[in-house]
Amino acid sequence: MTIAANPATADTAAGDKVDDASITAQVKSSLFSHRSTSALHTTVTTTDGVVTVSGIAKNEAEKSLVTKLATDIVGVTSVINNMTIPVVMN
């Protein structure tokens, strides 16, 4: 018999918490499947439920949409959007 030093509590019971790799995969899938976002130009990382996205957005609307799509994923606690929007010179 083995006794755990830190038994699981209601907050951390096995299966309750979505792991970071799953969150990252779900965010990438969501970006890939949405016609108004470019998953190819977006990097996604997740640490303790905090999703960080970076890359190039076509415009402010795409940048905002990426944040919303990531926020809608189960397990995401917050989103840090470091995407840049290219400046168009005339």
Q: pTM value? A: 0.76
* Cβ-based neighbours of 80, under 8 Å, separated by 6 or more: 50, 51, 52, 53
pLDDT per position as a tens digit, 3-35: 555 544 444 445 556 799 999 999 999 999 988
Region 29-51: what's the mean pLDDT? 90
Based on the number of CB atoms within 10 Å of its own CB, is 13 exposed (0-12), middle (13-18) or buried (19 or more)? exposed
- 60-71 helix and 20-33 helix, angle to the nearest 10 degrees: 140
Query: pLDDT at position 10, please?
Result: 46
In terms of pLDDT, which residue wins out, 18 or 50?
50
Instruction: Give the pLDDT band of residue 45 (cuts 50, 70, 90).
Output: very high
